[in-house]
Chain A
Amino acid sequence: MADNAHAAAAEHAAEGTGLVFHPMDQFKVQPLFGHGGEVSFYTPTNAMLWLGLTVLAVFLIMVVGTRGRAIVPSRGQSIGELAYGFVHKMIEDVTGKDALVYFPYIMTLFMFILMNNFLGLIPTSFANTAQIATTAILAFAVFFAVTIIGFVKHGSHFLGLFWVTSAPLAIRPVLAVIEVISYFVRPVSHSIRLAGNITAGHAVMKVFAAFAGLVALSPLAILGITAMYGLEMLVAFIQAYVFTILTCVYLKDALHPSH
């Protein structure tokens, strides 16, 4: 991965001198071993490496950190308990107690996205959550799961979600069309929100980094990178939170479709 980054940098350096803007190169999926070549579905790529590290991070925090099973928690254990309590309370507050059946999957989503966002902030790393393909899978999984749960739990009553009985009869069909459209836009906005936020932050940092090549501007550029990095730490958490809470909101629609 590092080799590839160096190779890419060298390649670009050959193209011109002075300011070089390649804000999007960090999102390239590349094979870990050997340059170029075809990327088939099982090829070990940088995407695979950072997904694996994400799983490892989740494992370290949630399993290794809590191995003491102490009544009075250690530092590591209290991080795990904090994450557990945070998501647990979120589901209870937003969706209701009957949604706690889905707690493991929502917890998976939260921890996975959070860890991936934070790992993506490590310089020269690869942010999977900036990839439309990755977030689209996450969002569409939620979308299909929610739709299926809605139909299984409520049958055709689930369609009442689109028929706003509290509105006057005359405008109900119009509202129904709007509701249906907004329902199907959900996974798109759900996925693009996450990927877009992460992409934007990383690209802006890369643009600032490119300005650092200019001696006169380099202090400003480094200051800009530092400020953006702080903001991106915040964004990394907030986007994981927002993705999870929107999942809870959509799940609430499926479990309690009456408005």
Chain B
Amino acid sequence: MHGEYKTPGGKLVVVDFDVVDGRFKNMVISGDFFLYPEEELAPLTNALEGVDIELDDESFTERIRMDLHPETELMGTSPEGIVIAVRRALAGDEA
């Protein structure tokens, strides 16, 4: 599944994943956002791996937020923006 969301005035975030037994698998997060340090892409990407797709937006957002180091700078997108892209993917909206 594939979903995109561009934060107005910010950057594009793209999510690609599979759903296996009602859970996120093979999550890939990409886009033209900025992330410091770059090594934080792995925890960002792993945050939703294996998570139940039936959870609500706040739960998804919280998972992403929890997995990022407090000093990580994510610019141009946000945990909320990533969740919008995930929702769009789940809804089959390829926009």
- Do A and B pair up? The answer is no
Residues of B within 8 A of A (CB): none
- Chain A positions near chain B (C-beta within 8 angstroms): none
